[in-house]
Amino acid sequence: MTDIIIRIERKLPIPPSPRAGNNEQQYRVFFEGEEIGAWRVPECSAARWLLANGKAERADTLRTDRGLYGGVGWFADRTVNEKGSPHHVKWVAMPSRVFTGTASEEI
């Protein structure tokens, strides 16, 4: 079991979405000095990235510079539901058909 340490920074500025005015905050995540991505739920998304890229095992411990820590596998299996009080819920991958085509294409 290894400690995996990530650094999280708020991504600035927050660009407003033209459709719904959504200004959801994203966070940039760094691992071993390299930026690995920008996500809304950085700990959980980073854990999935680390597993997918062979940088960590499920039994490893994920530690953040914000003092949060836990099992990589635990974080990878969850995301945050912000309806009501924010809480962790089971993560479900989006079906691959969601990512086909572009917004401008007619279906």
DSSP H/E element including 64: strand 61-64
Q: Which residue has the higher pLDDT, 100 or 45?
A: 45
Q: Are strands 3-10 and 61-64 parallel, antiparallel or unpaired?
A: parallel
Between 24 and 104, name the one with better pLDDT: 24
Q: Where are the domains of the chain?
A: 3-94
* pLDDT score recorded for residue 27: 93
| E strand or H helix that includes residue 47 | helix 42-52
The pLDDT value recorded for residue 90 is: 92
pTM of this structure? 0.77
Q: Which of 36, 24, 22, 59 is nearest to 8 (CA)?
A: 36
Q: What pLDDT shows up at residue 87?
A: 87
Residue entry with tokens 């998304």: 45
107: pLDDT strictly greater than 60: no
Cα angle 34, 80, 77 (rounded to 5 degrees) comes to: 70
